[in-house]
Amino acid sequence: MRAVKTSTLNVLAVALGMVLLVTAALWLGHDGAGGTGRTVIRLRIWDASFVPAYRAALDEFQRAEPDVEVRITVVPWASYQQKLRLDVAGGTVDDLFWTNLYTDYADAGRLADIGAMLGPDAVRQWDPGAVEQYTRHGKLWAVPQFVDGGTAVYYNSDVLTAAGIDPAELARATWNPHGPDSFEPLLRRITAAVPWAYNAANDFQSLSLPYLGSAGGRFQDGDRYVFDSPQGVDAFGYLVGLVRAGLTPPAADTRSGSDFAKNAFLQGKLALFQSGSFTLAQIAQQARFGWGIAMIPAGPAGRVSTDNAIGIAADAHTAHPDAVRRVLTWLGSAAGNRYLAAGGQTIPAVTADQHLYRDYWAARGIDVSPFFDVLNGPRIASGGGPGFAAALQAIDPIFDEMFLGRIPVPEALHRARTAAQATAQP
């Protein structure tokens, strides 16, 4: 899962990772500010590739605000959520930190109220979907930093040509387990030219949510999990059917958190890779064949996607609330947020900056409009609520077994929903 992007770790790996993180934390930025009279604010993220962009943005901030120094800590994604929970509970968390699973912290009073801190003018700058994602009980709990856009399909145009398929056929493709279905026949034609046609797998953001929404279903109703509906059975039954038919890589290779499908696409073994804008830079850099981006197939309820966002939350008990406010004001502004669009890395959350992402890729001959166009239709929420991170961990192994064909789809969905709901109980 991207998760949205969560992954299940075994206990030994977590313990080892924690020891390494405690003994050798990676601090990036300027050397110590001791004796300078500066206030030091610490920002925690999970992706080191964002450090140059943040460092450039914060260097500009510090030229204007020389009494505040911001230091960046990178905690790798594999151990990020676990360490964050421990540090929030222990009162040792950084002043600011990336979040996508914030509900438990907000409900426990551990996060600062961003709306009250920065005011309505700041909020109006940001992508509405991101604001909605980080709003709970009428309050905003994070400053949106970047959005993934919607889900799209990367295609290997060389393979499509070899299979006699025009990329325009992808735009017309529809899936339906009970009626006219043009997508599976299209995939079968593709396998004449490549080992696998498509990446149907246990991938929460890029596949589970779009198929569930396109079937007319929902993942949650409020804080209740409802993905085991008849529409859910249709969505997951269709995906599992594609795996069973051999049109995708084996489910044993594409378990949640696996990069097997992405790597197979880059190796030319997989023709269609359904994913988000977060894989665009890597594909552009590493693909050695002609490729493009198409809309996802339409289901019974049309094309439905989610648009996950990453935000910066603030420790409600920071010792430096005024400095935190000033840093967040900058990082949430158009001038500060645009650094995250450098090199086409991501889509800034400030709507006025989003053209920078489009312009960067357009200059390189890549049309990224499918990531945006799919969001003109209905959307499916990316999820949240009490115990949501634990719910995803409870769902993952059951879904893996479902895709492996070891548990029938209706039974797997029921078991997964029951396990997920149990995490929300007090």
Give the pLDDT band (50/70/90) at residue 10: very low
Q: Do 301 and 312 fall within a single domain?
A: no
Q: Do 302 and 206 fall within a single domain?
A: yes
Q: Do 257 and 188 fall within a single domain?
A: yes
Average pLDDT over residues 379-390: 90
Q: Do 256 and 404 fall within a single domain?
A: yes
pLDDT(14) > 50? no
pLDDT(2) > 70? no
Q: Do 313 and 302 fall within a single domain?
A: no
Question: Regarding beta strands 291-295 and 309-314, do their DSSP bridges make them parallel or antiparallel, or are they unpaired?
Answer: unpaired
CA distances from 131 to 115, 120, 351 (A): 10, 11, 11
Residue range of the domain that includes 357: 39-149+308-363
Total structural domains within the chain: 2
Q: Do 233 and 358 fall within a single domain?
A: no
pLDDT(9) > 90? no
Task: Tell me, yes or no, whether 330 lies in a domain.
Answer: yes
* End residue of a domain, out of 347, 363, 379: 363
What is the DSSP secondary structure assignment for residue 302, as one 8-state letter? B
Q: Which tens digit of pLDDT belongs to each residue from 69-81?
A: 999 999 998 899 9
Average pLDDT over residues 383-392: 90
Kindly state the percentage of the chain with pLDDT values over 70. Answer: 91
Q: Which tens digit of pLDDT belongs to each residue from 132-141?
A: 999 999 999 9
HSE-CB at 63 with a 13 A cutoff on CA atoms is 6
Rounded to the nearest integer, the mean pLDDT of the chain is: 91
Average pLDDT over residues 382-395: 91
Dist. CA 265–CA 156, nearest whole Å = 8
Task: Tell me, yes or no, whether 413 lies in a domain.
Answer: yes
Q: Do 236 and 299 fall within a single domain?
A: yes
Q: Do 175 and 253 fall within a single domain?
A: yes
Q: Do 53 and 141 fall within a single domain?
A: yes
Q: Which tens digit of pLDDT belongs to each residue from 95-121?
A: 999 999 999 999 999 999 999 999 999
Comparing 426 with 364, the larger pLDDT belongs to: 364
Task: Tell me, yes or no, whether 32 lies in a domain.
Answer: no
Give the pLDDT band (50/70/90) at residue 425: low
Q: Do 125 and 274 fall within a single domain?
A: no
Which residues are CB-contacts of 223 (< 8 A; sequence separation ≥ 6)?
385, 386, 424
* pTM of the predicted model as reported, rounded to 2 decimal places: 0.87
Task: Tell me, yes or no, whether 415 lies in a domain.
Answer: yes
pLDDT(144) > 90? yes
Task: Tell me, yes or no, whether 348 lies in a domain.
Answer: yes
CATH classification of the domain holding 298: 3.40.190.10
Return the minimum-mean-pLDDT range out of 23-27, 85-89, 338-342: 23-27
Which residues are CB-contacts of 350 (< 8 A; sequence separation ≥ 6)?
125, 126, 127, 332, 333, 334, 337, 338
Nearest to residue 198, comparing CAs of 207, 211, 187, 209? Answer: 187
Give the pLDDT band (50/70/90) at residue 389: confident
pLDDT(288) > 90? yes
Q: Do 91 and 116 fall within a single domain?
A: yes
Return the pLDDT at 8.
Answer: 32
HEC secondary structure over 91-102: CCCCCEEEECCC
Q: Do 156 and 144 fall within a single domain?
A: no
Cβ atoms of 273 and 262 closer than 8 Å: yes
Q: Which tens digit of pLDDT belongs to each residue from 32-71?
A: 455 568 999 999 999 999 999 999 999 999 999 999 999 9
